[in-house]
Amino acid sequence: MKHSFFCFLIFLSSLSGFSQQIHCGYDFTSYFVVEPREEGKNEIVDGLKITLVDFLGLDLINTDNKYSWIKPNEVLRFYENYKIDSKGNRVSPDDPNGKWYFYFAKASYLISVNNEFQAEHFRIKIEDPNGIYKTVFIPLSSFNMYVLCTAETRAAQFGRRTNQPIKVVLEKN
């Protein structure tokens, strides 16, 4: 009797292992993706300084990883996506054999935030260190976030689609 009860417990525990969800490499993380372009051009403008700011325009600091799981106690700045070769080394964006490091972002700027990030409380500030383009502030919304790992599936989605880049047209000074 004890033996059959023990076997039954092992059987139940093995079933619970199958019900656990497989985790994704992006669990608990979301991204904002920005595509800044000049009016009438298709290329992304390189060399911009893009920062998350509060509604006063002050740089957002990731105090104790409150907003992002990376770069604690630093200003939250976007960085340009880049291409890599088959060995993981950076290559030129023009390399036809290179693959985008963040496959979902292509040529763009991006930043990682945690899934609890309250997007509606913040904005993006886009500055041009070369002074060619005007500084612009873009309000954020939760639908701007790329949520890459989710167990939620939807048959139909109404309203704005998620996981779309924030497209910005820059004006010259």
- In a domain, residue 164? The reply is yes
Residue-wise over 11-28: b if at least 16 C-beta within 10 A, else e? eeeeeeeeeeeeeeebee
- In a domain, residue 118? The reply is yes
Whole-number Å distance between alpha carbons of 94 and 89 = 14
- In a domain, residue 145? The reply is yes
- Length of the chain equals 173
> Total domain count for the chain?
1
Whole-number Å distance between alpha carbons of 61 and 119 = 14
DSSP 3-state of 113: strand
pLDDT digits (tens, 9 = 90+) for 42-80: 999 999 999 999 999 999 999 999 999 999 999 999 999
- In a domain, residue 5? The reply is no
Side chain identity at 87, as an amino acid letter?
K
- In a domain, residue 80? The reply is yes
Q: Which domain holds residue 102?
A: 23-170
**pTM for this prediction:** 0.77
pLDDT digits (tens, 9 = 90+) for 69-125: 999 999 999 999 999 999 999 999 889 999 998 888 888 999 999 988 999 999 999
**Across-strand partners of 124?**
52, 138
DSSP 3-state of 12: helix
